[in-house]
Structures are given as C-alpha cells and as structure tokens.
C-alpha cells in the first residue's frame, strides 16, 4: 500500500509538471518577437469592458485583437467589439481616461461609432517616457 501511494504521488507530480511545462511552452509560442525586439500577441480573448472605460451605460463584450510589449516595458492592448443597438450613441463617442490594474496605470482611449463599432486602446509606459 505504501509503495502504491508513493508511485501514485510521483505519477501525479510528473503529470502536473508536464502540463505546466506544456502551458508555459504554448504561452511562449503565442508571443511572437518582432524585428525591433517587441513581443506581439495575437489573441481572441473576450471580456465585458466596464462602462468606466467605454463611457457607455453598461459593460460591452470586447475581444482583444492585439497585445504588444516592447523591450522598454511599454504595453499596448487593443480591444474591438460591437455595441448593442440600445447603447449606440447618436454621434461618435470618445472616452479618454486611465485604468489601474496589477499595480500599473494605463492610459485608456475608447471610440464608439453610431454604427456600433467600438475600439479601446490601453497603453502603459513602462519606462515613464513618451
């Protein structure tokens, strides 16, 4: 019985390490290095973006279409989506502000067109320079 438990524990540990290694390798492949040293991640992650970022009355589902990290630490995340008809503005709505997450402050700019097309760009200046 003691040997069975040891064998089972060792097998579980091995399988856990293998799955962690595969996940890390998959994430590393998702980021592609560009010629200037920036890492670019193409994603299809969807999040309901808060009204604080969009200027609309409620959150809107948006998909992250691009994420870039430069060697200097700058980060840019671009999100796009479609606003439900009942939330669409009569004229183009632009909302600028800041967003804090993970101990970082991002500048945020959201643009919503009367057609319902919405885009949001979050930018973090890692080195503090423009």
Are 109 and 93 in contact by the 8 Å Cβ rule? The answer is no
- Verify that 1 and 64 share a domain, yes or no: no
Q: Which domain holds residue 1?
A: 1-31
**CA distances in angstroms from 53 to 42, 61, 63, 78, 87, listed in the order given:** 22, 12, 14, 13, 14
Percent pLDDT > 70 in the chain is 68
pTM for the model: 0.68
Q: Is 98 helix (H, G, I), strand (E, B) or coil?
A: strand
- Verify that 49 and 103 share a domain, yes or no: yes
- Verify that 27 and 39 share a domain, yes or no: no
- Name the pLDDT band for 4 (thresholds 50, 70, 90): very low
- Verify that 5 and 57 share a domain, yes or no: no
CA count, 13 A, side-chain hemisphere, 11 = 6
CB-count exposure of residue 81 (10 Å: 0-12, 13-18, 19+)? buried
Least confident of 13-22, 43-52, 70-79, 111-120: 13-22
- Verify that 43 and 20 share a domain, yes or no: no
- Verify that 61 and 3 share a domain, yes or no: no
Q: Is it the case that residue 113 has pLDDT exceeding 90?
A: yes
Rounded to the nearest integer, the mean pLDDT of the chain is: 77
Rounded CA gap, 67 and 108, in Å?
14
Write out pLDDT tens, residues 74-105: 999 999 999 999 999 999 999 999 999 889 99
- Verify that 58 and 10 share a domain, yes or no: no
Rg (CA), the chain: 21
Write out pLDDT tens, residues 19-48: 333 333 333 334 555 455 777 776 678 999
User: Tokens standing for 39?
Assistant: 């890492």
- Verify that 25 and 69 share a domain, yes or no: no
Domains identified in the chain, total number: 2
Q: Look at residue 129 and tell me if it is in a domain.
A: no
Q: Is 3 helix (H, G, I), strand (E, B) or coil?
A: helix
Q: Residues near 109 by Cβ (< 8 Å), separated by ≥ 6?
A: 94, 95, 96, 120, 121
């Amino acid at each position: 019985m003691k040997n069975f438990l040891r064998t089972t524990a060792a097998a579980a540990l091995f399988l856990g390490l293998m799955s962690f290694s595969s996940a890390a390798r998959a994430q590393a492949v998702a980021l592609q290095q560009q010629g200037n040293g920036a890492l670019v991640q193409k994603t299809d992650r969807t999040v309901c973006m808060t009204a604080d970022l969009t200027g609309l009355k409620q959150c809107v589902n948006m998909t992250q279409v691009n994420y870039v990290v430069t060697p200097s630490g700058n980060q840019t995340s671009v999100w796009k989506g479609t606003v439900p008809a009942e939330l669409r503005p009569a004229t183009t709505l632009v909302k600028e502000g800041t967003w804090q997450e993970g101990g970082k402050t991002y500048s945020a700019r959201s643009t919503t067109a009367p057609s319902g097309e919405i885009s949001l760009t979050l930018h973090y200046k890692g080195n503090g320079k423009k």
